[in-house]
Protein backbone atom coordinates (compact mmCIF):
# COMPACT_ATOMS: atom_id res chain seq x y z
CA UNK A 1 0.00 0.00 0.00
CA UNK A 2 2.99 2.29 0.65
CA UNK A 3 6.29 1.61 -1.07
CA UNK A 4 9.56 3.49 -0.51
CA UNK A 5 12.35 2.81 -3.00
CA UNK A 6 15.89 4.16 -2.49
CA UNK A 7 17.41 2.71 -5.66
CA UNK A 8 18.71 4.66 -8.68
CA UNK A 9 20.19 7.37 -6.40
CA UNK A 10 16.73 8.80 -5.77
CA UNK A 11 13.79 8.34 -3.43
CA UNK A 12 10.53 7.14 -4.96
CA UNK A 13 7.42 6.84 -2.83
CA UNK A 14 4.21 5.31 -4.20
CA UNK A 15 0.89 4.63 -2.54
CA UNK A 16 -2.09 2.46 -3.47
CA UNK A 17 -5.69 2.92 -2.29
CA UNK A 18 -4.48 4.51 0.90
CA UNK A 19 -7.79 6.26 1.68
CA UNK A 20 -9.21 2.87 2.67
CA UNK A 21 -7.03 3.07 5.78
CA UNK A 22 -6.06 6.72 6.28
CA UNK A 23 -7.77 10.02 5.64
CA UNK A 24 -6.03 11.70 2.74
CA UNK A 25 -4.11 13.60 1.62
CA UNK A 26 -1.05 12.19 3.31
CA UNK A 27 2.07 14.32 3.67
CA UNK A 28 5.40 12.95 2.52
CA UNK A 29 8.47 14.61 4.03
CA UNK A 30 12.13 14.15 3.12
CA UNK A 31 14.25 14.72 6.24
CA UNK A 32 18.00 15.28 6.34
CA UNK A 33 19.56 12.71 8.65
CA UNK A 34 22.28 15.21 9.64
CA UNK A 35 20.22 18.10 11.04
CA UNK A 36 16.80 16.35 11.10
CA UNK A 37 15.26 19.23 9.15
CA UNK A 38 12.74 18.96 6.33
CA UNK A 39 14.33 19.08 2.88
CA UNK A 40 11.20 18.68 0.76
CA UNK A 41 7.54 17.69 1.10
CA UNK A 42 4.59 16.64 -1.04
CA UNK A 43 0.96 15.66 -0.55
CA UNK A 44 -0.09 12.14 -1.56
CA UNK A 45 -3.49 10.62 -2.30
CA UNK A 46 -4.72 7.32 -3.75
CA UNK A 47 -2.44 5.80 -6.41
CA UNK A 48 -0.01 8.72 -6.37
CA UNK A 49 3.74 8.61 -6.54
CA UNK A 50 6.46 11.15 -5.89
CA UNK A 51 10.22 11.24 -6.42
CA UNK A 52 13.05 13.18 -4.82
CA UNK A 53 16.31 13.27 -6.82
CA UNK A 54 18.72 12.55 -3.95
CA UNK A 55 18.59 9.62 -1.53
CA UNK A 56 21.95 10.52 0.07
CA UNK A 57 21.58 10.48 3.89
CA UNK A 58 17.91 11.49 3.63
CA UNK A 59 15.06 9.82 5.52
CA UNK A 60 11.40 9.47 4.55
CA UNK A 61 8.52 10.21 6.92
CA UNK A 62 4.84 9.99 5.97
CA UNK A 63 2.08 11.60 8.02
CA UNK A 64 -1.71 11.29 7.87
CA UNK A 65 -4.02 14.26 7.35
CA UNK A 66 -3.99 15.03 11.09
CA UNK A 67 -0.19 15.09 11.22
CA UNK A 68 0.29 11.69 12.84
CA UNK A 69 3.37 9.74 11.71
CA UNK A 70 2.30 6.52 9.99
CA UNK A 71 5.24 5.18 7.99
CA UNK A 72 8.82 5.89 7.01
CA UNK A 73 12.28 4.71 6.12
CA UNK A 74 15.73 5.67 7.37
CA UNK A 75 18.66 5.85 4.96
CA UNK A 76 21.13 3.10 5.88
CA UNK A 77 24.73 3.23 4.71
CA UNK A 78 24.98 -0.52 4.07
CA UNK A 79 21.58 -0.94 2.39
CA UNK A 80 21.36 2.38 0.58
CA UNK A 81 24.85 3.88 0.42
CA UNK A 82 27.06 3.89 -2.66
CA UNK A 83 30.17 1.73 -3.00
CA UNK A 84 32.36 4.48 -1.55
CA UNK A 85 30.04 5.08 1.39
CA UNK A 86 30.12 1.39 2.25
CA UNK A 87 33.87 1.12 1.75
CA UNK A 88 34.78 3.86 4.24
CA UNK A 89 32.14 2.74 6.75
CA UNK A 90 33.33 -0.87 6.69
CA UNK A 91 36.96 0.27 6.86
CA UNK A 92 36.23 2.25 10.05
CA UNK A 93 34.25 -0.68 11.46
CA UNK A 94 37.20 -2.98 10.84
CA UNK A 95 39.54 -0.65 12.75
CA UNK A 96 37.08 -0.61 15.66
CA UNK A 97 36.88 -4.40 15.79
CA UNK A 98 40.69 -4.43 15.93
CA UNK A 99 40.47 -2.40 19.12
CA UNK A 100 41.39 1.05 17.82
CA UNK A 101 39.14 3.93 16.88
CA UNK A 102 40.26 5.30 13.49
CA UNK A 103 41.10 8.94 12.86
CA UNK A 104 40.49 10.82 9.64
CA UNK A 105 40.52 14.18 7.91
CA UNK A 106 37.82 15.53 5.59
CA UNK A 107 38.83 18.60 3.57
CA UNK A 108 36.04 20.47 1.79
CA UNK A 109 33.09 19.38 3.94
CA UNK A 110 30.63 22.12 2.88
CA UNK A 111 27.84 22.09 5.50
CA UNK A 112 28.38 18.41 6.29
CA UNK A 113 25.09 17.12 4.92
CA UNK A 114 26.73 14.78 2.40
CA UNK A 115 29.99 12.96 1.85
CA UNK A 116 31.25 9.44 2.45
CA UNK A 117 32.66 10.45 5.85
CA UNK A 118 29.28 11.62 7.20
CA UNK A 119 27.75 8.32 8.45
CA UNK A 120 31.08 7.31 10.01
CA UNK A 121 31.03 10.52 12.06
CA UNK A 122 27.29 10.44 12.83
CA UNK A 123 27.56 6.86 14.15
CA UNK A 124 30.79 7.61 16.05
CA UNK A 125 32.80 5.09 14.03
CA UNK A 126 35.74 7.50 13.77
CA UNK A 127 37.29 10.65 15.12
CA UNK A 128 37.51 13.28 12.41
CA UNK A 129 38.95 16.68 11.62
CA UNK A 130 36.36 18.47 9.46
CA UNK A 131 37.71 21.36 7.40
CA UNK A 132 35.79 23.91 5.34
CA UNK A 133 37.22 27.10 3.79
CA UNK A 134 33.97 28.98 3.16
CA UNK A 135 32.80 30.94 6.21
CA UNK A 136 29.05 30.67 5.40
CA UNK A 137 29.34 26.92 4.88
CA UNK A 138 31.49 26.52 7.99
CA UNK A 139 28.83 28.25 10.11
CA UNK A 140 26.34 25.64 8.92
CA UNK A 141 28.88 22.88 9.57
CA UNK A 142 29.24 24.10 13.16
CA UNK A 143 25.49 23.95 13.71
CA UNK A 144 25.42 20.40 12.39
CA UNK A 145 28.47 18.97 14.17
CA UNK A 146 29.42 21.02 17.25
CA UNK A 147 27.56 18.54 19.47
CA UNK A 148 29.51 15.60 18.02
CA UNK A 149 32.40 15.11 20.45
CA UNK A 150 34.32 12.99 17.93
CA UNK A 151 34.92 15.98 15.64
CA UNK A 152 37.35 18.88 15.45
CA UNK A 153 36.00 21.65 13.22
CA UNK A 154 38.40 23.94 11.37
CA UNK A 155 37.53 26.96 9.20
CA UNK A 156 40.61 27.12 6.99
CA UNK A 157 41.70 27.04 3.38
CA UNK A 158 44.12 24.15 2.92
CA UNK A 159 46.79 24.44 0.22
CA UNK A 160 49.99 22.72 -0.79
CA UNK A 161 52.30 25.36 0.69
CA UNK A 162 50.28 27.53 3.10
CA UNK A 163 50.70 30.74 1.10
CA UNK A 164 48.03 33.39 0.50
CA UNK A 165 45.99 32.48 -2.56
CA UNK A 166 43.03 33.80 -4.57
CA UNK A 167 39.86 32.11 -3.35
CA UNK A 168 36.66 31.98 -5.42
CA UNK A 169 33.16 31.63 -3.95
CA UNK A 170 29.74 31.51 -5.54
CA UNK A 171 26.33 32.00 -3.95
CA UNK A 172 26.49 31.32 -0.21
CA UNK A 173 29.88 29.66 -0.54
CA UNK A 174 28.47 26.28 -1.50
CA UNK A 175 30.71 26.28 -4.57
CA UNK A 176 34.21 27.38 -3.68
CA UNK A 177 37.67 26.66 -4.99
CA UNK A 178 41.09 28.11 -5.72
CA UNK A 179 40.78 26.62 -9.23
CA UNK A 180 38.91 29.34 -11.12
CA UNK A 181 38.06 27.24 -14.20
CA UNK A 182 36.08 24.80 -12.02
CA UNK A 183 33.90 27.36 -10.30
CA UNK A 184 33.30 29.19 -13.58
CA UNK A 185 32.01 25.97 -15.13
CA UNK A 186 29.65 25.14 -12.24
CA UNK A 187 28.40 28.32 -10.65
CA UNK A 188 25.51 30.27 -12.17
CA UNK A 189 25.38 32.96 -9.47
CA UNK A 190 27.79 35.84 -8.93
CA UNK A 191 31.32 34.66 -8.16
CA UNK A 192 33.40 36.63 -5.68
CA UNK A 193 37.15 36.31 -5.21
CA UNK A 194 39.51 37.43 -2.48
CA UNK A 195 43.09 36.93 -1.39
CA UNK A 196 42.84 34.42 1.44
CA UNK A 197 45.29 33.06 3.98
CA UNK A 198 45.82 29.32 3.86
CA UNK A 199 47.29 26.49 5.86
CA UNK A 200 49.79 23.99 4.44
CA UNK A 201 48.33 20.52 4.30
CA UNK A 202 51.24 18.83 6.07
CA UNK A 203 50.54 20.93 9.16
CA UNK A 204 47.38 18.87 9.68
CA UNK A 205 49.24 15.62 10.23
CA UNK A 206 50.22 15.89 13.88
CA UNK A 207 49.24 12.26 14.51
CA UNK A 208 48.67 9.08 12.55
CA UNK A 209 45.68 9.38 10.21
CA UNK A 210 43.77 6.33 8.93
CA UNK A 211 41.74 7.98 6.18
CA UNK A 212 41.57 11.17 4.12
CA UNK A 213 38.60 12.56 2.21
CA UNK A 214 38.99 15.50 -0.17
CA UNK A 215 36.32 17.41 -2.12
CA UNK A 216 38.14 20.55 -3.19
CA UNK A 217 36.88 21.19 -6.70
CA UNK A 218 39.78 20.41 -9.01
CA UNK A 219 42.57 20.84 -6.46
CA UNK A 220 42.51 17.30 -5.05
CA UNK A 221 45.48 15.92 -7.00
CA UNK A 222 47.82 18.80 -6.23
CA UNK A 223 46.84 18.78 -2.58
CA UNK A 224 47.34 15.06 -2.02
CA UNK A 225 50.61 14.92 -3.93
CA UNK A 226 51.93 17.66 -1.61
CA UNK A 227 51.47 15.41 1.44
CA UNK A 228 54.72 13.98 2.73
CA UNK A 229 54.81 10.24 2.12
CA UNK A 230 55.11 9.49 5.83
CA UNK A 231 51.80 11.32 6.39
CA UNK A 232 49.77 9.64 3.66
CA UNK A 233 47.02 7.43 5.13
CA UNK A 234 46.26 3.97 3.68
CA UNK A 235 42.70 4.94 2.72
CA UNK A 236 41.92 7.98 0.54
CA UNK A 237 38.76 9.16 -1.21
CA UNK A 238 39.22 12.09 -3.57
CA UNK A 239 37.04 13.83 -6.15
CA UNK A 240 38.33 13.23 -9.69
CA UNK A 241 35.43 14.79 -11.62
CA UNK A 242 37.01 18.24 -11.93
CA UNK A 243 40.57 17.13 -12.66
CA UNK A 244 42.01 17.66 -16.11
CA UNK A 245 42.89 14.44 -17.94
CA UNK A 246 46.59 15.29 -17.70
CA UNK A 247 46.28 15.86 -13.95
CA UNK A 248 44.37 12.64 -13.45
CA UNK A 249 46.93 10.62 -15.41
CA UNK A 250 49.88 12.07 -13.48
CA UNK A 251 48.09 11.57 -10.17
CA UNK A 252 47.23 7.96 -10.98
CA UNK A 253 50.86 7.15 -11.82
CA UNK A 254 51.94 8.83 -8.57
CA UNK A 255 49.53 6.89 -6.36
CA UNK A 256 50.18 3.54 -8.01
CA UNK A 257 53.89 4.15 -7.60
CA UNK A 258 53.29 4.42 -3.84
CA UNK A 259 51.44 1.10 -3.80
CA UNK A 260 47.84 2.31 -3.91
CA UNK A 261 45.14 0.51 -5.89
CA UNK A 262 42.54 2.82 -7.43
CA UNK A 263 38.84 2.31 -8.04
CA UNK A 264 37.10 5.13 -9.92
CA UNK A 265 33.41 5.69 -9.23
CA UNK A 266 31.00 8.33 -10.52
CA UNK A 267 32.73 11.54 -9.40
CA UNK A 268 35.17 10.27 -6.81
CA UNK A 269 37.89 7.65 -6.53
CA UNK A 270 39.05 5.39 -3.71
CA UNK A 271 42.77 4.74 -3.24
CA UNK A 272 43.77 1.96 -0.85
CA UNK A 273 47.03 0.30 0.10
For the sheet with 2-5, list strands across it. 2-5, 11-15, 49-52
- Residues with Cβ within 8 Å of 139's Cβ and at least 6 positions away in sequence, in order, are none
Above 90 in pLDDT, residue 183?
no
Instruction: Provide the CATH topology of domain 79-272.
Output: Rossmann fold (3.40.50)
Architecture of domain 2-75: Sandwich (2.60)
Give 211-253 pLDDT, tens digit per residue.
999 999 999 999 999 999 999 999 999 999 999 999 999 999 9
Residue-wise pLDDT for 71-83, tens only, equals: 999 999 999 999 9
What confidence tens digit (pLDDT) does each residue in 97-127 have?
A: 999 999 999 999 999 999 999 999 999 999 9
Q: Where in the chain is the domain with CATH 2.60.40?
A: 2-75
pTM of the model: 0.95
Q: Using alpha carbons, list the distances in angstroms from residue 7 to 12, 73, 90, 242, 268.
A: 8, 13, 20, 26, 19
> CATH 3.40.50 residue ranges in the chain?
79-272
In tens, the pLDDT along 36-51 reads: 999 999 999 999 999 9
Amino acid sequence: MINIDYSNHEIKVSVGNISQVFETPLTLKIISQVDEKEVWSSEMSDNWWATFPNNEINDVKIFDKKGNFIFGKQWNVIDDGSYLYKALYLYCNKKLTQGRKPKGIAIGTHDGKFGEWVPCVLHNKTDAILIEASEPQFEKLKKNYTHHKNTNLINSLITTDGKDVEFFEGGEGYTNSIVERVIRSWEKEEIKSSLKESQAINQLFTQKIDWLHTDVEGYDAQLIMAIEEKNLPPFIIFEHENLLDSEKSKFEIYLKGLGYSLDYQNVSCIAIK
